[in-house]
Structures are given as C-alpha cells and as structure tokens.
Chain A
C-alpha cells in the first residue's frame, strides 16, 4: 500500500507508523471534566466502516506527522 506523505510523496506503508484517529480534542477545561468524559477522551475512538480521518507519521522518512482520510474497507486514501 502506498501512503502519500505531504513532503516525500507516495511511499510504501512500511515506512510509516499509525497514529490512530485524528481530531481527538483534549478537553477544553481539563480540571472540570468528570471521569466519564475523561474515559471517553482517553479510551473511546471512532471505528467506522468506511471513511476515517487518521494521523500517520513518516518514521523512516521525514518524520513529519500528517492527517489523511482512509477508507477502512477498501484502504482507499484521500488526503484530508
């Protein structure tokens, strides 16, 4: 599978590491949130069948993080 690095272009997937779901926002008022909200932030991630926005890092190349949209069924990648 080729992954498009925004700097290096298309490279083999073995050069990359997966960083999980993108757009997981840190609670805005961290002191005020209850345990359930924390648990949701720390442990709960989307698991869609279809398009998912993800973080990837080009570990063996330029070591930059970037976001892309991958289809979890077909592995079709569209840049975010």
Chain B
C-alpha cells in the first residue's frame, strides 16, 4: 500500500494549545499558525530604477525601499529584508505564480528569485497583549508609536532569527524558521505565564 503524501505544518501539534489560550484569555490574546504561506526571496539592485519599475509592474505594487517596511496589495505583501533583498509573501499555493511574475520582471537583469516557502512558518499573534507578550522575547522596541502598521523587522526571538511584521494595531506576524518553530512557540506559551 502506498502511503498518501500529507503536508504537515511545523506547528500542527500546537493547534490545540493555541486554541486553549484564546479561550483562557477570553480572546484578549490569540495565537495561531498560518501554515503554508507562499514566500519568495528576491534579490535585485534597488538603484536600477528601470528594474524596480519592471518588478513593480510585474507584482502589481512597488517594493519597499525604506528599510524595515512592508508594501502590499490585496493578498500579496513585500517585506524589506536588506537593501537589495525582499520577501514577497502570498497565500498558500501562489509561490509558483509569484516566482513567474518576478522572473518576468527581473527579465535578464542580475538578481535572484528563490521559493523559500518551506523555510519559515508564520505565527499570528493578535490582541491587546500581543506586543507585551513579544516584548518578553525580542530585543527591539515594539511600542505601537514606533513599530506601527506597515513596519517589519528582523531580529532574535531569544535565540531564533525571526521576521516580525506589524499588520495592524493589534496584530503581529512572526516568520520563524520551520526547524525553530516549536522552540519559538514554546517560548511564547511560556512567556504568557509571566
């Protein structure tokens, strides 16, 4: 008998624990995994304005040039990772489409496009206490006045490299390496007890 291939997200085992948390805090804080988010890593020269224009046309919006910011349109988002590197994010199953669009935009210019969807999983932390919870584990300023909607940052969650994105006032998105996802989840759940 041939076993059917089944996709499993890194935090599939934590679904119940996260759900219990929302119930326990009366919805003041909720954590959930957003599994299988499409992620494509793009490297290109930001000084080449023709290329930037082509890429913007290809994905439908301009890539962020200001460090640690996010631009988006509908369900696609682009996160600034470095002066010449971005993470283009979309819903499950779109990695192929994103990759094709970017490749059309890049054309023959020098750059790289890599599907890194399996690299990280995404954790959404929502609620009034979301920033307080994360502040226990990361060394950056998460105050709403500084880290507002449309900002992102790469930093350390204790010892794990993470990307944090502020989607709106009370919602923070965490991109964690798949192999460190349980470590991060354990930390978050532990930090809650304080």
Contact = CB atoms under 8 A, between A and B. Distances in A.
Contacts of B155: 11, 15, 60-61
A12 interface: yes
A61 to B, nearest CB: 5
Main SS of the interface on chain B? strand
A60 B161 contact: yes
A62 interface: yes
A60 B83 contact: no
Given A61-B153, A62-B67, A12 B82 contact: no
Give the size range of A's interface with the partner.
10 to 19
B156 A14 contact: yes
A12 B155 CA distance: 9
A64 B82 contact: yes
A70 B111 CA distance: 35
Give the size range of B's interface with the partner.
10 to 19
Contacts of A41: none
A7 interface: yes
B40 interface: no
A60 B154 contact: yes
A24 interface: no
A11 B147 CA distance: 14
B156 A8 contact: no
Interface in B107-154: 139-140, 153-154
A8 B83 contact: no
Nearest to A58: B154
Interface of B: 67-68, 81-83, 139-140, 153-156, 161
